[in-house]
Amino acid sequence: MSSPPQPDSLPTSAPEKFPVDLRNIMRYFASAVTVTTGAMDTGELFGLTISAFVSVSLDPPLVLVSIRNESTAKDLFIRAKKYCVNILSADQQKIAEKFSLSGEGGRFQNLDYYFGKGGSPIIRGCIGYIDCKLVEAIAAGDHTLMIGEALDVGYEKKDPLLYVDRNYARIENPKRD
């Protein structure tokens, strides 16, 4: 693995309005990858690839996903009042790619999923899922923070899919208990 660039070699380009462009540093923040899904009462399914996911509180069990305001799914999540965070395994890169393509209408075609207790799609083969009801949507700049209360979780021991420096990656020597 090559070592990260030193601060003085980082790109310095920034949007005109603000002095920093977070993308220049956040690309080096390795993260797991989720596909966060939802369903309308009409049966319409939606979802997108999201790495901005955090556990917020244990009691009550709260999590958060951050969604770009321009995403077609943002208003759907708010209207559906529920979502499911599916944490992808290393062999699910194709799913991550499909759910991150703008204008991709057939995201759920040929996808192996079922509906969880909360009514959102759970993708089979994931490391785990957090099935949530939406409790708060907080506007934050060009994103919206969707806080969800976990209704149900499921998991199995698998290798995670990672994303770093604009590329998918996997752990070379995963350690298992």
Task: Report if residue 64 touches ligand FMN, rule: CB under 6 A.
Answer: no
Task: Report if residue 48 touches ligand FMN, rule: CB under 6 A.
Answer: yes
Binding mask 90-129 for ligand FMN (x = CB under 6 A): ---------xx-x---------------------------
Task: Report if residue 55 touches ligand FMN, rule: CB under 6 A.
Answer: no
- In this structure, what token pair is assigned to residue 108? 């759920």
Side by side, the strands of the sheet bearing 45-50 are 45-50, 34-39, 82-87, 128-140, 143-155, 62-68, 53-57
Q: Are 34 and 51 in contact (CB under 8 A)?
A: yes
CB of 149 to ligand FMN, least distance (A): 20
- Out of 45, 50, 63, 95, which residue is the one contacting ligand FMN (CB under 6 A)? 50
Distance in angstroms (rounded) separating the CA atoms of residues 144 and 137:
6
- Out of 66, 81, 93, 164, which residue is the one contacting ligand FMN (CB under 6 A)? 66
Give the binding-site size for ligand FMN (rule: CB under 6 A). Answer: 16
Paired residues of 132 in beta bridges: 83, 150
